Structure 1
């Protein structure tokens, strides 16, 4: 998206690919056009020019921008990811694993990277507590007694896996909110620790994104700076899930001051 020059503000792009990186179809529509979408590019593009883009739908925004030079132009839609899994050292591992299996939380089609480890990737949105599959799994992980698992099994099994139909986190009892908060906070802390010190312009990252061992392109400084902003946004969103006393707290203090607008 380049300034107020209307003739250079819109380009055509494959709708199917772009749908992979937007929250819902309604947000794909740009103003009153039904066949246009907004993307942030590292170069200027004239109206009517066609962009051909093909990429893995699980690619992060930072990886996407570095490898292909574009990312969806939705700075208000802040998102990151973290892994949520069942600890094999948990003394109640087998009981929890059985409950997760019965509830279809470990359905490989629905996002589990490794069913044996009961771990999957949770998409995080700024100041929105995960629901659906993530909430169900967090509730199971948070229970620390066999009796608690037995008492809550029926209710947990009845919870929908889909986010748009899920029980709301705010409907849970305060003590259970705190337990679930702790699970999400610990997962966010772990992901933040993995991201700390990471540079989006690393050759290793670019090689992984491109899928070629010898792929080491020259990176434009402006492009790398934008990629760094995207990564900073992802880290700020993760920071919002570091919970203290039931409140979401960002890495750089309370509120959303840690968010960087990508324009």
Structure 2
């Protein structure tokens, strides 16, 4: 093994010696330890950049310095184990969900991180062909109560104890939002092509979409709507959901 390493120019023949200089062949005037320190700094900075790409609104909420401290803790406790960094951002969300660790504005940051990570998941998800309005129009009226829907992989419903979508939107509009008070919210995040969209859901909309995603028959799901919910209103919801590609298939 040592011969192979030496022949490949990866390490000198005394590669088993217990020193850094013995393990890494020097090719410049810069000491080996300093070269490794540069690499260590650059790789850590790269991980922070990746986390900032996934969580720009969390970075705003904590401030640049606070966000970097959070990233440093995440990198130390949950180092990257994969060559691809596309999904390393999950480590930050898992850290924020862990009650053993202190995070400023912990409850809000946890909810906000979950929201931003859902957007990343939707962006990378493998899309299925979306259900079309024409397909729905061909279903006989007498069969509608028994139909069920399959959600597309490029959809997430995020419920929160904070108005996270409003906060994200305010940040994107450069309105410098501050940490909000608690308030229930539900948002569906979905992708059409490579365009990411977010739609706030009132409680009746949230309940209906949740039941349909769980596989309930349409008639049963509609019966659970609050009294006074009007048919034309429900049809508008369906038109928006189908047009946005929220459903992959319909079954009868």
Greater CA radius of gyration, 1 or 2?
2
Give me the TM-score of the superposition, normalised by structure 1. 0.27
Give me the TM-score of the superposition, normalised by structure 2. 0.28
More helix by share: 2
